[in-house]
Amino acid sequence: MSELADKTETGSTLMIIGLALWVTALLVVFFLPAAVKVGHHGTFAWLLSILVLAGVALMARGLRLRGREE
């Protein structure tokens, strides 16, 4: 039973980390207009895509761990 609880806790933690990455991506979007003015919008778009993809991957992995029942 404790193994199932550990997997559920790990899944929840991964989902929270994924959500934190999404919040960080929203901060990148907030500063995107300034980056366009300066001319560094490519770097911001690259960083945004990496954060969103990592967030989705962590949330999917966490959901898979939480949903697994033994």
CA-to-CA distance for 58 and 68, rounded, in angstroms?
16
Q: How many domains does the chain have?
A: 1
Q: Residue 32: its pLDDT value, please?
A: 84
Q: What is the pLDDT of residue 68?
A: 64
Is the pTM value of this prediction over 0.85? no
**Hey, is 50 helix, strand or coil?**
helix
Q: How far is CA 22 from CA 19, 41, 47, in A?
A: 5, 19, 12
Tell me, what's the pLDDT at 14?
92
pLDDT tens for the chain, 70 residues long, are: 677 778 888 889 999 999 999 999 999 889 888 888 888 788 888 999 999 999 999 999 999 988 765 4
Query: In this structure, are residues 15 and 57 in contact, taking their beta carbons and an 8 Å threshold?
Result: no
Neighbouring C-alpha atoms within 13 Å toward the C-beta of 29: 10
Q: Residue 13: which domain range?
A: 2-67
Closest CA to 17 of 59, 51, 66: 59
- What pLDDT score was predicted for residue 8? 84
